[in-house]
Amino acid sequence: MRTIKGPGIFLAQFAGDNKPFNQLSSICKWAKSLGFTGMQIPTWDPRMIDLKKAAESKTYADEINGIVKEAGVEITELSTHLQGQLVAVHPAYDVLFDGFAPAPLHGDPKARTEWAVQQLKYAAKASRNLGLNAHGTFSGSLLWHTVYPWPQRPAGLVQTGFTELASRWLPILNEFDDNGIDLCYEIHPGEDLHDGISYEMFLEKVNGHKRACILYDPSHFVLQAMDYLSFIDHYHERIRMFHAKDAEFNPGGKQGVYGGYQNWIDRAGRFRSLGDGQVDFKSVFSKLTAYDYAGWAVLEWECCIKHPEDGAREGAGFIKDHIIRVTEKAFDDFAGAGSNESLNKSLLGLK
């Protein structure tokens, strides 16, 4: 076993136009002042990083590392969640997802997908240049509009969708493998990889690719009424990233998982600031530690009630308090009688 690293913070929800959130150096110093030691960087935000430049210039990557280290922290991983979403988009969502791409690509789904694929390949090289070993993203979706089978799905539709999804991601996965980086899909509603079964279907289509890993976030399983602890038992060997994010699910007589088209504040399932929801984080941290999870615990703040700066301040302490410093000896060593092969055989009645 090893001690989980942290606390880290995902900067996406905090970056903004006002100081100290408008540039990498100042936002890192702010996070450090709260107790964070790791920064997960959103690569779509030019205030934080120039992804293409980080991929093509080791000197620039070293400069980014220098900025972060000067603040007394380090980079945990890079994120391409928005670009990953654009690797696979059903036409029903074209207009809504155009906002994730540069303006010249709006209205041109083919060019948008090509751009997204290149962004992921840049991310593989940038992660290597920065000395990282894992990267977080979304899978995108061709099938989400069919998640509830009405009208009835034609035979073979799901298989066709996953075959196409895999064909788009295989070259990207190979690029990550060439650069020695695990590509971690956040298992998330709205993505074709939204639960364990859909992840397994994808994994089969990419031939069990060793870089097709998981970003574990229990909040998304709470909102699906899934067993988020058993998920760790099933997939711990593939979990390479961890978002510490909380949620609550309180279904009633009027709404459940689908939320009745309500805003977040009025939904049965809501994201909450860390510690304010229903996730049993003591058990989450215990399981991940017992399974020798080698990565970071990174706060992803999303809450429809609490101010983000309060969520960040409380979240740093929450994660720190839940990280388990692993033991270096067995609790019953004091009672040990010592042993050797001869004694063991004697105790078993063997000669």
| Mean pLDDT, all residues of the chain | 96
Q: What angle do CA 251, 255, 258 make, to 5 degrees?
A: 100
8 Å CB contact between 279 and 246: yes
pLDDT at 343: 85
Distance, C-alpha 178 to centroid of its chain = 21
Could you tell me if residue 181 is left (phi over 0), alpha (psi between -120 and 50 degrees) or otherwise beta? beta
User: How do residues 236-260 score in pLDDT, each as one tens digit?
Assistant: 999 999 999 999 999 999 999 999 9
pLDDT at 263: 96
Could you tell me if residue 233 is left (phi over 0), alpha (psi between -120 and 50 degrees) or otherwise beta? alpha
User: How do residues 255-265 score in pLDDT, each as one tens digit?
Assistant: 999 999 999 99
pLDDT at 75: 98
Is a pLDDT exceeding 90 seen at residue 327? no
Domain boundaries, the chain: 5-347
Mean pLDDT throughout 185-200? 98
Mean pLDDT throughout 211-227? 98
Is a pLDDT exceeding 90 seen at residue 338? no
pLDDT at 328: 82
pLDDT at 329: 80
Confidence band of 336 (pLDDT split at 50, 70, 90): confident
Is a pLDDT exceeding 90 seen at residue 337? no
- C-alpha–C-alpha distance, residues 155 and 148, integer Å: 15
Query: What percentage of residues in the chain have a pLDDT greater than 70?
Result: 99
pLDDT at 341: 87
- C-alpha–C-alpha distance, residues 69 and 71, integer Å: 5
- C-alpha–C-alpha distance, residues 22 and 41, integer Å: 13
β-pairing, 269-272 vs 246-249, is antiparallel
| Tokens of residue 29, six digits | 């110093």
Supply the angle between the helices 58-70 and 109-129 in degrees, to the nearest 10: 70
CATH class of segment(s) 5-347: alpha beta
pLDDT at 46: 97
SS3 304: coil
Backbone dihedral angles phi then psi of residue 13, each to the nearest 5 degrees: -80, -5
| 327 burial via Cβ count (<10 Å: 0-12, 13-18, 19+) | exposed
Confidence band of 36 (pLDDT split at 50, 70, 90): very high
38 strand-pairing partners? 8, 74
| 323 burial via Cβ count (<10 Å: 0-12, 13-18, 19+) | middle
User: How do residues 264-308 score in pLDDT, each as one tens digit?
Assistant: 999 999 999 999 999 999 999 999 999 999 999 999 999 999 999
Task: Dump the DSSP string for 1-45.
Answer: --PPEEEEEEGGGT--SSTTTTSHHHHHHHHHHHT--EEEEETT-
pLDDT at 346: 84
Residue 49 CB contacts under 8 Å (≥ 6 apart), including other chains: 24, 41, 43, 64, 78, 126
pLDDT at 192: 98
- C-alpha–C-alpha distance, residues 49 and 28, integer Å: 13
User: How do residues 130-166 score in pLDDT, each as one tens digit?
Assistant: 999 999 999 999 999 999 999 999 999 999 999 999 9
8 Å CB contact between 118 and 138: no
- C-alpha–C-alpha distance, residues 300 and 318, integer Å: 12
Confidence band of 340 (pLDDT split at 50, 70, 90): confident
